[in-house]
Amino acid sequence: MTTPLQMPPWSYSGLTSFETCPKRYYHIKVAKDAIDNPGEAAKWGSTVHKYLEDRLRDGTRLPVSVRGYEGLVAPIANAPGEKLVEHQMAVNSSLKPTEWTSQDAWCRGIVDAGVLSRSLNKAVLLDWKTGKRKADNDQLMLFAGLAFSHYPELQIVQTGFVWLKENKIDKQTFKREDISTIWMTFLPRVQRMERAYEKAEFPPNPSGLCRNYCPVPKHKCEFSGKQ
């Protein structure tokens, strides 16, 4: 009989990583016997996030290499309201706010930048993107769901991906009445992940990325190209 595994709080990136390939997710996140080393693009993304965080939190001037992003950061820095910078939000399985490290944390998310206007019952939540522009609004939906739980006064949450290289923003607005739609989008997906933990079953999902991009070695997955 297989021993059930304890599922940690889920995040959007963890969920999508599981959905891409449960076996890859298992070896990187659960067994931790494979390491997903960040490539140059991911390292650059982390560096840029830190520059933008320092700019918004402390007013630190952006370095020359990213000074062109000032026009995207300044409106947030200058907006009236409470600034949110690398802001962590966690909820329990009843969708009540809880501490990030709390035992009952069920879902967690970090908003890169935002402005909370409590008097207007409104928030703007943004995610910096250093990669190529693509459509994936589910992450924005999750931000809104977490924010509605954390700030009961919010009626409207405007979310957006800020595509730094392309100087574009993809926005999506959510209303408090969208809460059940938001969570119903995620629940069946999270339940699949919960079942995988319960049964300790993380099957492979081979794709065109296996051979050249998977860090799981071949002796653990037959589809891998990594020795």
> Residue 98 — φ and ψ, nearest 5°?
-145, 170
Nearer to ligand SF4, 114 or 204 (CB): 204
Nearer to ligand SF4, 22 or 160 (CB): 22
Nearer to ligand SF4, 28 or 142 (CB): 28
The residue ranges that bind ligand SF4 (CB under 6 A) are 21, 23-24, 204-206, 210, 214, 216, 221, 223-224
Burial class (CB in 10 A: 0-12, 13-18, 19+), 146: buried
Alpha-carbon span 19 to 25, nearest angstrom: 8
User: Which amino acid belongs to residue 125?
Assistant: L
Shortest Cβ 105–ligand SF4 spacing (Å) = 27
Shortest Cβ 201–ligand SF4 spacing (Å) = 14
Shortest Cβ 210–ligand SF4 spacing (Å) = 3
Q: In this structure, which long-range contacts are made by residues 165-173, counting pairs with CB atoms below 8 Å and at least 24 apart in sequence? A: 165/130, 165/132, 166/133, 167/71, 167/72, 168/133, 169/72, 169/126, 170/133, 170/135, 170/137, 172/137, 172/140, 172/141, 172/144
Nearer to ligand SF4, 98 or 224 (CB): 224
Shortest Cβ 43–ligand SF4 spacing (Å) = 21
Nearer to ligand SF4, 25 or 106 (CB): 25
Shortest Cβ 163–ligand SF4 spacing (Å) = 27
